Amino acid sequence: MPSRKKNKGKAPKKKTTAKEVKKEDKKEKKEITLKDRFADLRGNLPEKVWDSIFEIAEKKKLSEEKIKKLIEEAKKEYAKVVVEPCEAVGIIAAQSLGEPGTQLTLRTKHYAGALEVSVGSGIQRVEEIVDGRSKTKYASMTIYLNEKIRHNKKKAEEFARDLVDVRTEDVAKVKEDFLKKTAEIEIIDEKVAERNLDKEVLLSRIKEAVKKGKVMKRTNKLIIHFPKEYSLLKLRSEVLKIMRKRLQGISGIEKTIVVEENGEYIIKTLGTNLKAVLKRKEIDPYRTTTNDIMEISKVLGIEAGRRAIVDELHKTLSENRIRVDLRHLLVLADLLTFTGEIRGTVRTGIMRLKQSPFARAAFEETVKHLFDSALYGEREPLQGVVENLIVGLPVKVGTGRVELVMRE
């Protein structure tokens, strides 16, 4: 016989009454019948739009007539934004981005009170994104902090200082004596005070960088006696290694500034290292980002890189008060990332992937592409826009895709 265990200390489950069951059934029926009643009016509206119509109807407690009007208005607005069949969306996207691009400036954005932290904006930034450059000229990060320190300015500033990449050469000076084969590294008090660093900690970290030789410590300096068998070249290279040693911070973060936005403190940086920053417990990893699109795609994946392209282009255009439909930016982002890595609109990027010899020749290095395609016996399928224009055939977009014959 199986043993029965008594439920001690547990409250018995509340049984649902017949009235409550009926009420729930009525609610479900109302929801189902409301959508079913207007199913014939749906047309080609997407599911998300269709669901949001009834969410609004329930919140506003709309009558059936008003729901019908709302559906009709939604269908009219949706019809306006749908692309026509065979529309040349690529050319329209290029035109929609290219024409407003002539209004972009050559300025760089500076943060108030810190001219050192600059962010590229305008035509330079758009070129960087579209060309898929491996290095951003004005690499910058926006670091959001966790709940504990995002409202505390002092702690935010301390953390910002801790992020800055500090090398020995930034806080010390060196004197070399090649005859005695010694080097004297002296800490500069002013530079240490600027960065709010501990002098003793710095001296101990510099001492750790010395692999061979004796180190003598003074008040604010280290005297290093290198082995006598060291050549002058070897001595010089060892001194340079010590001076380039990172004493604090994250590699690549040159400067930081704390800025207040939307009631919280965030950190703007000059320089970027997303992978290392995301490991710090003081940050909010879900919002912290960088403007280096290549770095985002390497750390977070190509989908994150695609999203970053859209966000950065939209941000740059918005800063210059230029409005461009988001769908044009999405077309461009898809084009740059569909191969699984970011490729720019340059001859070494997506143009190299084009199957058409004429399309490659029309972009750059015309003679080279035509010669190579003739040498290797490439075929021209005449499927794209450029190649059909070159040979004088109708372009296979819009009405060029329609094959109709008028009968008498």
Digit-coded pLDDT (tens) for 179-212: 888 888 888 888 887 777 777 888 888 888 888 8
- 299 has pLDDT over 90: yes
Residues 341-345 have a mean pLDDT of 88
Q: Which helix (H) or strand (E) holds 177?
A: strand 172-177
Q: Please report whether residue 179 resides in a domain.
A: yes
**Burial class for 79, CB neighbours closer than 10 Å (0-12, 13-18, 19+):** exposed
- 7 has pLDDT over 80: no
- 115 has pLDDT over 60: no
- 266 has pLDDT over 90: yes
Residues 146-154 have a mean pLDDT of 89
Q: Please report whether residue 47 resides in a domain.
A: yes
Q: At what angle do helices 302-319 and 326-337 cross, to 10 degrees?
A: 140
pTM of full prediction above 0.75:
no
- 6 has pLDDT over 50: no
pLDDT value at residue 399: 83
- 118 has pLDDT over 60: no
Q: Which helix (H) or strand (E) holds 365?
A: none
**DSSP character string of 228-271:** TT--HHHHHHHHHHHHT-EEES-TT--EEEEEEETTEEEEEEES
Average pLDDT value for the chain? 83
Residues 276-282 have a mean pLDDT of 92
pLDDT value at residue 331: 93
Residues 299-318 have a mean pLDDT of 92
Which DSSP category does 102 fall into? T
pLDDT value at residue 287: 92
Of the three residues 51, 81, 111, the one that is the final residue of a domain is 81
pLDDT confidence band for 21 (50 / 70 / 90): low
pLDDT confidence band for 19 (50 / 70 / 90): low
pLDDT value at residue 135: 83
Greatest CA span in the chain, whole angstroms? Answer: 106
Digit-coded pLDDT (tens) for 73-106: 999 988 888 888 888 888 899 999 888 888 877 6
Higher-confidence residue of 1 and 22: namely 22
Highest mean pLDDT among 13-27, 31-45, 352-366: 352-366
pLDDT value at residue 229: 83
Of the three residues 248, 276, 304, the one that is the final residue of a domain is 248
Higher-confidence residue of 236 and 32: namely 236
| Residues contacting residue 123 through CB under 8 Å, at least 6 positions apart | 101, 104, 105, 106
Site of tokens 């439909």: 325
Q: Please report whether residue 376 resides in a domain.
A: yes
- 5 has pLDDT over 70: no
Number of domains in the chain: 3
Of the three residues 81, 107, 129, the one that is the final residue of a domain is 81
Q: Please report whether residue 196 resides in a domain.
A: yes
- 149 has pLDDT over 80: yes
Query: How crowded is residue 52: how many other Cβ atoms within 10 Å of its Cβ?
Result: 13
- 108 has pLDDT over 80: no
Question: What is the distance, to the nearest Å, from the Cα of residue 62 to the centroid of all Cα atoms in its chain?
Answer: 42
Residue 260 to residue 253: CA distance in whole angstroms: 20
Residue 50 to residue 220: CA distance in whole angstroms: 72
pLDDT value at residue 246: 85
User: Cβ(340)–Cβ(302) under 8 Å?
Assistant: yes
Q: Which helix (H) or strand (E) holds 96?
A: helix 89-101
Residues 42-55 have a mean pLDDT of 87
pLDDT value at residue 27: 53
Residue 238 belongs to domain spanning: 166-248
Digit-coded pLDDT (tens) for 123-135: 888 888 888 888 8
pLDDT value at residue 14: 53
Residues β-bridged to residue 175: 184
Q: Please report whether residue 180 resides in a domain.
A: yes
Residues 103-130 have a mean pLDDT of 67
pLDDT value at residue 279: 92
Instruction: Report residue 222 as tokens.
Output: 């280290």
Higher-confidence residue of 38 and 335: namely 335
User: Cβ(181)–Cβ(267) under 8 Å?
Assistant: no
Q: Please report whether residue 102 resides in a domain.
A: no
Q: Please report whether residue 171 resides in a domain.
A: yes
pLDDT confidence band for 107 (50 / 70 / 90): low
In 296-377, DSSP assigns E strands to: none
| Residues contacting residue 178 through CB under 8 Å, at least 6 positions apart | 232, 235
Q: Please report whether residue 325 resides in a domain.
A: no
Q: How many residues does the chain have?
A: 408
Write b or e for each residue in 369-405: b if 16 or more Cβ atoms lie within 10 A of its Cβ, otherwise e.
beeebeeeeeeeeeebbebbebeeeebebeeeeeeee
Higher-confidence residue of 115 and 80: namely 80
- 395 has pLDDT over 70: yes
User: Cβ(242)–Cβ(206) under 8 Å?
Assistant: yes
pLDDT value at residue 375: 93
Residue 253 to residue 257: CA distance in whole angstroms: 11
Residue 181 to residue 248: CA distance in whole angstroms: 28
Provide long-range contacts, Cβ within 8 A and 24+ apart, for 325-330. Answer: 325/96, 327/93, 328/92, 328/93, 328/96, 328/97, 329/97
Residue 400 belongs to a domain with what CATH number? 1.10.150.390
